[in-house]
Amino acid sequence: MGLGKSLLSRYAWWKLQARPELIEPHWSAQDYWRSYAAHIPGEAFLAYAPTAWKALTFSGLERGRYRAFFFNPSDRSEVPLGRVEADSSGTWKAPEFPIIRDWVVVLDQRG
């Protein structure tokens, strides 16, 4: 199984909706080396951070607790972040990445 497929096959990936506004910093036409975000309604928020060195801030999150983890797309390893919850404005700041490399930040709504 492919590395990315091993993560996406856990979710209804065909329902992915691009949601760049969910994270800061995020990509733009002028700076496409920034992070990309997507949402699978009722399942997960995902953010791909290419060559990540700066923590991401999520906004517009739904109320509730999430199981959060960093996913390493090179070897399928995960760094658990435990249960997290957005503040009253729907914002959550992820911790710093363990090392500078590509990461996927996952907020699993299914707990």
Instruction: Give counts: helices (H), strands (E), the chain.
Output: 1, 9
Name the residue type at position 4: G
What digits encode the pLDDT tens for the residues 89-111?
A: 999 999 999 988 889 999 998 86
Residue 66 near residue 75 (C-beta atoms within 8 A): no
Domains of the chain in start order, with CATH, are 3-108 (2.60.40)
**Residue 1: pLDDT above 60?**
no
